[in-house]
């Protein structure tokens, strides 16, 4: 019996090593693609005339949709930031998704809202929209008050009432760079086959925010937030840039993504039964466009920046990541028919198989690998130097890829100007693989288990301190 277990564990260890090599080879390929894409982007920066787009009367008008549920801490700052965007034609549509707090009240006070009778311009199923309001101070601001139905439902309501042919979905806890809109819209103008484009989401915790805009980028002292900053850099600058390069981008972040409205409406809008509505929509768009035939593009560009507030506690982070993992699993299950089919191009042949092998199964194999190595070491089947070497290689490769992301950041943007802030990120990239990565793998395994058992999902309450803590007006 022990002999069978011995053989099984050692074979599994070998399998884990092969898996680790394959995963890292993929990561390396993504870094190479990402580096190439970013380098090309940097080289061409001076060719891009965003000023004309920001002034032209022929620029595509954009509806900015902000679903808001209990966002009293951040909503005013977000709306203020969006309304200052440098762009000639846009509207900001805030969808109050039945908030129990003062989200609507604060908006009404700050923007002098009056009820109007906006007529829906698309047919999509949503919860009842109770009323629509517009601002007397800025006619570009529209607020929809609806019964609670979740984020997808709120976005669909926004889509129904939006006026313009292109819409940008942003989270309520985000701030946009002033010139983010021209940068995103340019992709639609220069490449008319574009269906959706994602921009980079960066973490604003610790940065200085003035008048709704990040004026000085800094990192906070909290380790947990710095770990997330490194994670975001890796995910966006390496992951999404790389996937975009080969035309297999599966996620346009719900916090910052711009879409052709007509295409999304034809696809049926956001799916109200999933929590990974952003990935689900993008994969559905890929499927529709591929089935229909003809050229199309779903891409990512790393320059337009959206700033968000990251969770500061492990509990909030766990809830967020649980939701992300379950959303991803749900999407992969729904579109399993696309996997490995050449008609779906790089999405079916590379993107989806990668996500199944390394994002859905990855954490399970990773955790099983740690257990297996520990067992082997405990039973004396593995010498200490081999166990340490295995651990060392796994950790070193993880750190190397995080450094790779920092290298891309330094090559292209260098947003973190202070050496102190940069030092914190380097430190976080090192520490990330010593505890945090293993904890995150466990969270994802737990999410997989909950998904299999079909446990109901929760959005959870993310406590927001606001971009300027203390900026929320006191309850009167």
Partner 1 sequence: VLTNTFPLALFALGLLCGLMLLVFAKRVARGMAERRSRRRRVAWVAATGSGSVADMRMRELRSLARDAARGPAAQEDLLSLLSAGRLPPRDERREPFQRALRRAGFTRGLRHAIRSGGAAARGRAALLWARLGMAGAERMISPLMTDPDPDVRAAATQALACCESDDAAWTLLRSLRDEHVEPGRVAERLTGAWAVRPLLQALREPSFAAVRPWLAEALGLTRDDRAEEPLVRLLAGGDEEERIRAARALGRLARSTSASALVTALTDDSPVVRAQAARALTELRERRSVPALVKLLADDSWWVRGRAAEALGSLGGLGRTALRWCATAHPDPYARERAAEILAQDEDAPDKVAVA
At its nearest, how many Å lie between partner 1 and the CB of residue 43? Answer: 4
For residue 37, what is the enclosing H or E element? helix 2-43
* By CB under 8 A, residue 434 contacts partner 1: no
| Distance in angstroms (rounded) separating the CA atoms of residues 434 and 371 | 16
User: Which DSSP string do the residues of 387-437 spell out, in sequence order?
Assistant: HHHHHHHHHHHHHHHHHHHHHHHHHHT----SHHHHHHHHHHHHHIIIIIH
Determine which residue in the list 25, 211, 374, 388 makes contact with partner 1, applying CB under 8 A. Answer: 388
| Distance in angstroms (rounded) separating the CA atoms of residues 127 and 96 | 12
* By CB under 8 A, residue 385 contacts partner 1: yes
Of the pair 49, 291, the CB lying nearest partner 1 is at 49
* By CB under 8 A, residue 10 contacts partner 1: yes
Contact 260, 231 (CB under 8 A): no
Determine how many CB atoms are found less than 10 A away from the CB of residue 46.
7
Determine which residue in the list 40, 125, 458, 461 makes contact with partner 1, applying CB under 8 A. Answer: 40
Q: Which stretch binds partner 1 (CB under 8 A): 213-221, 331-339, 340-348, 403-411?
A: 403-411
Quick one: which of 177, 234, 243 has its CA closest to 209? Answer: 177
Q: Which stretch binds partner 1 (CB under 8 A): 50-58, 77-85, 206-214, 271-279?
A: 50-58
Length of the chain: 476
* By CB under 8 A, residue 47 contacts partner 1: yes
# residues near partner 1 by CB under 8 A: 58
Strand, helix or coil at 321? helix
* By CB under 8 A, residue 136 contacts partner 1: yes
At its nearest, how many Å lie between partner 1 and the CB of residue 444? Answer: 24
Query: What's the token pair of residue 155?
Result: 């976005």
Quick one: which of 83, 87, 97 has its CA closest to 135? Answer: 83
* By CB under 8 A, residue 119 contacts partner 1: yes
* By CB under 8 A, residue 57 contacts partner 1: yes
* By CB under 8 A, residue 406 contacts partner 1: yes
Query: What's the token pair of residue 42?
Result: 């940097």
Query: What's the token pair of residue 229?
Result: 């900053």
List the helix and strand counts (H, then E) for the chain: 17, 12
Of the pair 134, 326, the CB lying nearest partner 1 is at 134
Q: Which residues between 185 and 214 bind partner 1 (CB under 8 A)?
A: 189-192
Which residues are at the interface with partner 1 (CB under 8 A)?
Answer: 10, 13-14, 17, 40, 43-44, 46-49, 52, 56-59, 104-105, 108, 112-119, 131, 133-134, 136, 139, 189-192, 382-383, 385-386, 388-390, 392-393, 396-397, 399-400, 403-404, 406-407, 410-411, 414, 422, 426
């Amino acid at each position: 019996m022990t002999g069978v277990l011995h053989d099984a564990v050692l074979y599994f260890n070998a399998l884990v090593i092969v898996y680790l090599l394959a995963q890292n080879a993929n990561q390396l390929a993504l870094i190479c693609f990402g580096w190439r894409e970013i380098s090309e982007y940097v080289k061409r920066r001076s060719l891009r005339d965003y000023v004309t787009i920001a002034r032209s009367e022929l620029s595509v008008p954009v509806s900015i949709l902000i679903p808001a549920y209990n966002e009293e801490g951040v909503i005013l700052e977000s709306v203020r930031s969006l309304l200052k965007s440098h762009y000639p034609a846009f509207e900001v549509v805030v969808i109050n998704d039945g908030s129990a707090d003062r989200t609507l009240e604060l908006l009404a006070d700050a923007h002098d809202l009056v009820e109007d009778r906006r007529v829906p311009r698309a047919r999509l199923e949503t919860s009842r929209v109770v009323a629509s309001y517009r601002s007397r101070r800025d006619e570009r601001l529209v607020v929809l008050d609806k019964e609670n139905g979740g984020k997808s439902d709120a976005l669909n309501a926004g889509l129904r009432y939006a006026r313009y042919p292109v819409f940008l979905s942003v989270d309520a806890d985000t701030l946009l760079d002033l010139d983010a809109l021209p940068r995103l819209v340019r992709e639609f103008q220069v490449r008319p086959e574009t269906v959706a484009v994602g921009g980079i989401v960066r973490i604003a915790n610790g940065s200085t925010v003035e008048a709704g805009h990040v004026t000085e980028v800094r990192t906070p002292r909290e380790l947990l937030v710095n770990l997330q900053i490194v994670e975001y850099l890796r995910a966006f600058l390496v992951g999404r840039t790389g996937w975009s390069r080969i035309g297999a981008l599966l996620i346009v972040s719900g916090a910052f993504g711009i879409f052709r409205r007509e295409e999304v409406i034809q696809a049926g809008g956001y799916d109200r039964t999933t929590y990974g509505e952003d990935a689900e929509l993008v994969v559905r768009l890929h499927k529709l466009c591929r089935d229909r035939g003809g050229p199309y593009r779903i891409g990512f560009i790393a320059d337009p920046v959206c700033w968000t507030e990251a969770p500061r506690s492990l509990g909030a982070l766990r809830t967020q990541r649980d939701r992300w993992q379950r959303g991803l699993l749900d999407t992969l299950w729904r579109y399993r028919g696309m996997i490995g089919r050449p008609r779906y191009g790089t999405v079916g042949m590379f993107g989806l198989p990668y996500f199944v092998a390394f994002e859905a199964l990855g954490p399970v194999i990773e955790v099983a690998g740690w257990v297996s190595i520990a067992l082997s070491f405990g039973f004396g089947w593995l010498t200490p130097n081999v166990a340490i070497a295995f651990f060392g290689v796994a950790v070193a490769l993880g750190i190397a890829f995080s450094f790779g992301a920092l290298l891309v950041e330094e090559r292209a943007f260098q947003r973190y100007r202070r050496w102190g802030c940069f030092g914190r990120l380097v430190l976080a990239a090192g520490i990330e693989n010593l505890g945090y990565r293993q904890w995150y793998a466990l969270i994802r395994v737990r999410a997989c288990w909950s998904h299999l058992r079909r446990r109901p999902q929760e959005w959870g309450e993310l406590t927001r301190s606001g971009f300027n803590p203390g900026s929320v007006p006191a309850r009167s």
